[in-house]
Structure 1
């Protein structure tokens, strides 16, 4: 009976998909608007998944997707940092996917 349980657990746990870098609230809170720099963000969180420029700002994105075998545990979010010309954080926030049951369909 234990073997059946082990096989079931391996199947359930193996049916998960995860991609990207999840930024937890503690790391997000350690980045201070108006004080933290690009170097600080890279040191605390790591290199961003993608970078863009919007006017005078540089924007860094940390995308994260998790598809679970259990409903309600899926996650699709981006943590975003906007920097001024001096490389100082001027804005930080999280965005979420489109609300689809499958987060891969949201982007």
Structure 2
């Protein structure tokens, strides 16, 4: 570990992750008009000492033409979290996304029962 890396307690990491998720709630899927968190697209948020953040997420479809747009929006949103010094988005396809991953809010907004 480099001397200039910040070391956080688990409680601090949990708090920072909450801020990260709040920032990700500002990233709206352009086709559905709902944020990626409520759509259930974010699978994992990893935060490392020193501020590196890795977002593991999926998309509603494997061939989504807006993957680059959403990825760039995520990178921009994470710049609003002061503790995040570097970020990376990793697209994963397992488990496959289904509407079951959506929050109640997203289901109501999209008229899905």
Structure scoring higher RCO (CA < 8 A, sep ≥ 6) equals: 2
Question: Do the two structures share a fold, i.e. TM-score over 0.5?
Answer: no
Which structure dedicates a bigger proportion of its chain to helix? 2
Sort the TM-score into its range (normalised by shorter chain): under 0.3
